[in-house]
Amino acid sequence: MANQYIDLSTVRFLLYKVAELETVTKLPHYQDHNKESVEILIESVKDFADKELYPYIREMDEQPAHYKDGKIIVHPQIGTAIKKAGEMGLIVGSFTYEEGGLQMPATVSNTLDMIMEAANNHVIGYWGLTFGAAELLVSFGNEELKETYVPNMMEGKWGGTMCLTEPQAGSSLSDVKTTAYPQEDGSYKIKGQKIFISGGDHEYCENFVHLVLTRIEGAPAGTKGISLMVVPKHRITENGLEFNDVITAGDFQKMGQRGYCTTHLSFGENDDCQGWLVGTANEGLKHMFLMMNGARISVGRGAAAIVSAAYHASLQYAKERPQGRRVSNSGKKNVAEEQTLIINHPDVRRMLLLQKAVAEGSMSLVLEASKAYDLSVAAESQEEREKNHLLLELLTPMVKTYPSEKGITAVSNGLQVLGGYGFCSEFILQQYYRDIRIFSLYEGTTGIQSMDLLGRKMTMKGGKAAFILVEKIMESIQAANTHEDLKPYANTLGEHLQLSQKVAQFLMGFAMKGEYERFLSDATIFMEFFSNLTIAWQWLKIATAAKHGLITGDTTYTEEFYESKIHTMKFFYKYELAKNHSLSKVLMDENVLTIPTEQEVFVG
Ligand SMILES: Cc1cc2nc3c(=O)[nH]c(=O)nc-3n(C[C@H](O)[C@H](O)[C@H](O)COP(=O)(O)OP(=O)(O)OC[C@H]3O[C@@H](n4cnc5c(N)ncnc54)[C@H](O)[C@@H]3O)c2cc1C
């Protein structure tokens, strides 16, 4: 139990019994993977995480990545971890065999990443972004670009980044200014600044392959004029690597995730920065969405992993810390009695259960989305592939946002479990609290994700994606209804589903009238509301799988384990899902208080 950051029994239960990995591995595309091979991966990744990641998480916070003499200095263990991850095939896992990978289902690769991130959330992004950048090259690059860059990236020798953000273009990528000037040889000269670039430079990779959003000289304004370029730090010549005028201008010192460097890159200060077009000119943002969608799942996954780590750290403390006495039915304290452990106080149990509900509900949602991805790639019929693609599109903003936003509250509760010690640097909770804060900001803030959910995903293809989700939830309600003691929860979820349809219809009314600002003004509240429903769905699935285990006497997991899952589902319904009643009132309130009007409200 000491230093436990993730419970592997729960991970396995969610993977095999709730997400039902077998429905993915039985497909021809993934047929080389099965439970036995996945178990070997889980064991070796856990061993790697125990030895190479977890022991360094505090040092990476205390000795943060920083800029010195034109270089970014990171903790040396980052170099060791990247090298080992490359050797273990962790960077290439999800690529197909033809692309040089292991054709691993995303359901499996995200499980492995979640284990590693729970151990240390400062490291995985280094090769996660390398994978994402390589995936863009494999998907849209020509053969020459693929051969030039991808093999070294897969081994972890070269790092990859996504370069979108500029000082004036954060949430609004239509304002990207970095310019690509066409050259006679087909390449481009690149000029511009990119800020906040994760993993943008350090001494443990020989080269960095930046996937950069640019505007080709003369391109139309807005998103329709954005092109994707590959711009290496060092270009490849007959004589080896040659500096490509990508200058690391500085870094950003942060409140959390301090081992994961965040850089400011300057392209073409000396007029000597070359880039090459990836995919089609002016379609760069569309191409980049492949990497952004993957990164959004990764962000939710990372947040879920931190919540798990914080939960286990606070649970361990609660089991060891004596304080006070239980409230007796007489209402009197017996000070002669020995102090009880704080885990026996209902309020502490509430804080622990909240964390467990958020951690495991979020992990389950990450796996649900991963499975939708796998089925969108490999399901046998076109119809199934299309359905899963739409489901993934709808789930993605929630996967990104729910673990990130609710995770802040969950980790804060973890810190609270430790009382005053939670605030002290001797304990890791304060670090998790700082680390998780970035997740609702990068990869599209909560505000942006929420507008994507309500404004685009709920309405896409005439509401087809939402309809598919409703169908899925109905299936889970039916399955839960076969168990007498789950029926009340299945009914509750059904009622909340109806409530969500009422809310959605109310809001859509504004869109139909052309009142788009009003339609989207409470999108973040809608995100909270709809994610609560979606996580409640996950919890009903978890409880149904646990009930099935109990009834069939499946001894893979203990009875206590199954009961604890059902108990946590009940907790989620009572303490979290119930909030949707008041959120629905906010969402359907006719009063408008946040849209700017002539009247100045920020006075005094
Ligand atoms: C540690 C870290 C790592 C990062 N890594 C990368 C990376 O690797 N690559 C990369 O390209 N970028 C990266 N980013 C940038 C990150 O994606 C941006 O910070 C983020 O998209 C927000 O942009 P901004 O900071 O300019 O905030 P702004 O866009 O200025 O937003 C400020 C506030 O206004 C809100 N807002 C903005 N526009 C709207 C709107 N239209 N409607 C409603 N609300 C709105 C936002 O939700 C937010 O609350 C990173 C950032 C950080 C801090």
Query: Which is more confidently placed, 450 or 603?
Result: 450
Provide the CB-side half-sphere exposure for 414 (13 A, CA): 32
Task: Look up residue 23 and give its amino acid.
Answer: T
First-to-last alpha carbon distance for the chain, in angstroms, is: 53
**DSSP codes joined into one string, 537-586:** HHHHHHHHHHHHHHHHT-TTS-HHHHHHHHHHHHHIIIIIITHHHHHHHH
Tell me if residue 443 is catalytic: yes
Q: What is the pLDDT of residue 332?
A: 79
Q: Total structural domains in the chain? A: 1
CA of 395 to the centre of ligand 1 (A): 21
Residue at token pair 């009003």 = 518
Q: Is 170 in the pocket of ligand 1 (CB under 6 A)?
A: yes
pLDDT digits (tens, 9 = 90+) for 371-405: 999 999 999 999 999 999 999 999 999 999 999 99
Measured distance CA(287)–CA(294) in Å, rounded? 12
The structure tokens 């499996």 sit at 108
Query: Is 322 inside a domain boundary?
Result: no
Instruction: Identify any residues that bridge with 266 across adjacent strands, giving them in sequence order.
Output: 193, 247
Q: Which atom of ligand 1 is nearest to the CA of 260?
A: 1
Instruction: Name the strand (E) or helix (H) holding 191.
Output: strand 188-198
Is residue 414 included in any domain, yes or no? no
546 domain-assigned: yes
The model's pTM: 0.98
Decide if 524 is inside a domain: yes
The answer on pLDDT for 89 being more than 80 is yes
Per annotation, catalytic residue among 443, 495, 515, 517 = 443
Question: Per-residue confidence at 3, pLDDT binned at 50, 70, 90?
Answer: low
Whose C-alpha lies nearest to ligand 1, atom 7?
197
- Residue 447 in contact with ligand 1 by CB distance below 6 A: yes
Asked whether residue 551 is domain-assigned, the answer is yes
Residue 140: CB within 6 Å of ligand 1? no
517-534 pLDDT, tens digit each: 999 999 999 999 999 999
C-beta of residue 209 within 8 angstroms of C-beta of residue 149: yes
Q: H or E element: which one contains 460?
A: helix 460-481
> How many angstroms does the Cα of residue 57 sit away from the middle of ligand 1?
26
Q: Residue 544 C-alpha to ligand 1 middle, in angstroms?
A: 39
Q: How far is the CA of 295 from the centre of ligand 1 (A)?
A: 14
Q: Which of 121, 166, 229, 441 to mutate to test the pocket of ligand 1 (most atoms within 8 A of CB)?
A: 441
Structural domain including 570 reads 463-595
Mutate to test the pocket of ligand 1, among 166, 171, 400, 446 (most ligand atoms within 8 A of CB): 171
Residue 572 lies inside a defined structural domain of this protein: yes
Position 479 in a domain: yes
What is residue 1's predicted lDDT score, i.e. its pLDDT?
Answer: 41
In this structure, the residue with its CA closest to atom 37 of ligand 1 is 171
d(CA 398, CA 387): 18
Task: Give pLDDT tens digits for 310-366.
Answer: 999 999 999 999 999 998 888 777 888 899 999 999 999 999 999 999 999 999 999
Q: What percent of the chain has pLDDT over 90?
A: 95
288 lines ligand 1 (CB under 6 A): no
Cβ pair 139, 290 in contact under 8 A: yes
Tell the residue nearest (CA) to atom 35 of ligand 1: 447
Distance CA 90, CA 109 (A): 8
The amino acid at residue 466 is: A
Task: Note whether residue 79 is domain-resident.
Answer: no
pLDDT of residue 334: 82
Residue 437 structure tokens: 């804060």
What is the overall mean pLDDT for the chain? Answer: 97
Q: Which structure tokens are listed for 60?
A: 């990476």
Task: Count Cα atoms within 13 angstroms, Cβ side, for 428.
Answer: 31
Question: 162 CB less than 6 Å from ligand 1?
Answer: yes
CA angle 158, 146, 218 (to 5 degrees): 100
Contact 227, 180 (CB under 8 A): yes
What tens digit of pLDDT does each residue of 94-124 get?
A: 999 999 999 999 999 999 999 999 999 999 9
Q: What is the pLDDT of residues 540-592, one digit of tens each?
A: 999 999 999 999 999 999 999 999 999 999 999 999 999 999 999 999 999 99
Going by C-alpha positions, the residue among 86, 69, 53, 136 that lies closest to residue 302 is 53
Write the burial class of residue 494 (CB in 10 Å: 0-12 exposed, 13-18 middle, 19+ buried). Answer: middle
pLDDT at 147 over 50: yes
Ligand 1 centroid – CA 166 distance (Å): 10
Given a contact cutoff of 8 angstroms between Cβ atoms, the answer to whether 113 and 300 are in contact is no
Cα–Cα distance, 261 to 263 (Å, whole number) = 6
156-192 residue pLDDT tens: 999 999 999 999 999 999 999 999 999 999 999 999 9
The answer to whether 351 touches 416, Cβ cutoff 8 Å, is: yes
**Closest residue to atom 11 of ligand 1, CA basis:** 164
